[in-house]
Structure 1
Amino acid sequence: MPGLDINKKTTALVVIDLQKGIATQPTQPHPALEVIRNAALLVRAFRKNVMPVCLVHVVSSPETMLKVNSDQSFSRPGGMPVDWSEFVPEIAPVPTDVVIAKKQWGAFYGTDLELQLRRRGMDAIVLCGISTDIGVESTARFAYEYGFQQVFCEDAMSSGTAEQHNAAVKFIFPRMGRVRKTAEILAALG
C-alpha cells in the first residue's frame, strides 16, 4: 500500500453521526468508544493543524424523517431523548468547526456541506463515523461523485455488524479512495 500524503491546505475532516443517540448503540468490529477515541484524535490533529473539521449529525423528528416503503425500516421505540442529536463530548464543536445538520443518511444531500468545503478550498476529505455502511458510505458516494479525494479511517468507523463494516471497507471504499488506520493518518499530518 503506498504511503499517505495529506495536503493540509486542501483536506478537511468529516465526522459522521458521533452523537449521543447513535454512538451509544453497540457496534462492530470496533466498539463505539474506540471509534469515538480515534475520531477525537483526528479532530484534535486537524484543529491543531488549522484544517477544517466538519461535524455532521442527524437532526430529525418523526415529521421530517424520510418515509419510504422498504422491507426493513428504522424505527425508534417511543420518543427520542432530548440530547439524542448532541455530539459526544469528546468531539464537542468549537467555533471554528463546521456543523452540519442532516435529515437523511448522507451528509451532502439537503445540506450545505459541499458549499462549506468548496468555499474553504477543500478538494479532499478524511471520513469517519458511525455507521460505516450507512452514514459514512452514503456520504462517501456523494463525495466521490462530486470529485473529492477521500481517505477512510477504518478504525474510526464501525457498523451494527462486522459483516456490514467489512463489506464497505473491503469492496466499496477502496474504489473511491484510500483506506487507512488512525495512526497512519496522524503520521501523515505530522
Structure 2
Amino acid sequence: MTELSTAVVFIDLQEGFFEDPSSRDDRELMVAESNRLAGLARQARVPVFVVSTVHARDTSTWTLKMLEDDQGFNFPGTPEVRLLEGLNLEPATHLEKIRDSAFHGTTLAQQLRTVGARTVILAGVLAESCVAATGRDAFAHDFRVVYARQAIASAEAETGWPMLEGLSGTLRQQILNRPDLERLLTADA
C-alpha cells in the first residue's frame, strides 16, 4: 500500500448524461475541466477512479424511478455508456455502478483504502444526484470529501449546488476551485 492520501473520483462522464443538445457547452466544459484535473492528478501521482453507470436491459438493475417510468438507459454496448469524447483520464481504475452513489454495490471504498486514500476529490455529473450521493456515502465510509467546483455539472443549478453547499457545511466537505485543488494535489506529490 502506498502512502498517498488523496484520490480523484470521476462520476458518470458518459454520453448518456449529455444527450440533450442544450448540454453541448456543459459537455465541452466538463471534458476540459476533467482533463485538467486528471492531468494534475497524474503530475501528483494521485490515483484516478472513473465510475460509470451501466444498467442491464432486463430491468434487474433499474432504480424504482426507472421501473415506474418503464424506461432504462445506459445499457452495455450502447453509445450512451461510452465516456465523453475527448476525455483523457488515464491511467485510471474503472468501476461500474447501478445507483447514484459510486459506493453502492461497488468496490470503490476498498480500492480507495488499498491505495491509501483518506480524501476523495469528486468530479462529474450530476451535482444534485450522483455527486451528492457519492459525497454522502464517502462520509459514511470515513473519507474526507472535496468537490471540484469547475469539474462538476448540474442539470438543476438551483438545487444541485445548494445541495453540495449543504453537505459542505453539515459534513465538513470542501468545495474547491481550480487553484485550491492544484495546491491540494501538489501537497501529495
Q: What's the TM-score bracket when you normalise by the shorter of the two chains?
A: 0.7 to 0.9
SS in structure 1 of the partner of residue 31 of structure 2: helix
Contact 1:93 1:99 in 2 (8 A): no
Could you tell me which of 10, 15, 32 is aligned with 1:20? 15
The amino acid that maps onto 1:9 is L
The alpha-carbon distance between structure 1 residues 46 and 66, as it changes in their structure 2 partners (threshold 3 A), is same
SS in structure 2 of the partner of residue 84 of structure 1: helix
Show CA shifts across 1:81-101 (max 9, x none).
Answer: 72211112333453x411011
Counterpart in 2 of 1:164?
159
What is the TM-score normalised by the length of structure 2?
A: 0.82
What is the TM-score normalised by the length of structure 1?
A: 0.81
Show CA shifts across 1:54-89 (max 9, x none).
Answer: 00101113323324269x858358x88722111123
Root mean square deviation of aligned Cα? 2.6
Could you tell me which of 109, 124, 141 is aligned with 2:119? 124
SS in structure 2 of the partner of residue 12 of structure 1: strand
Contact 2:11 2:123 in 1 (8 A): yes
- Is there any run of 5+ residues in structure 1 with no aligned partner, and where? 1-7
The residue correspondences of 1:35-184 to structure 2 (distance < 5 A) are 35-63=30-58, 64-68=60-64, 73=69, 75=71, 82-94=78-90, 96-176=91-171, 177-184=173-180
Contact 1:43 1:91 in 2 (8 A): no
Shift in Å, 1:166: 2.2
The alpha-carbon distance between structure 1 residues 76 and 42, as it changes in their structure 2 partners (threshold 3 A), is same
**1:169 and 1:150 mapped to 2: Cα distance?**
11
Identity within the alignment, %: 21
The amino acid that maps onto 1:181 is N
**2:149 and 2:160 mapped to 1: Cα distance?**
9
- Is there any run of 5+ residues in structure 2 with no aligned partner, and where? none
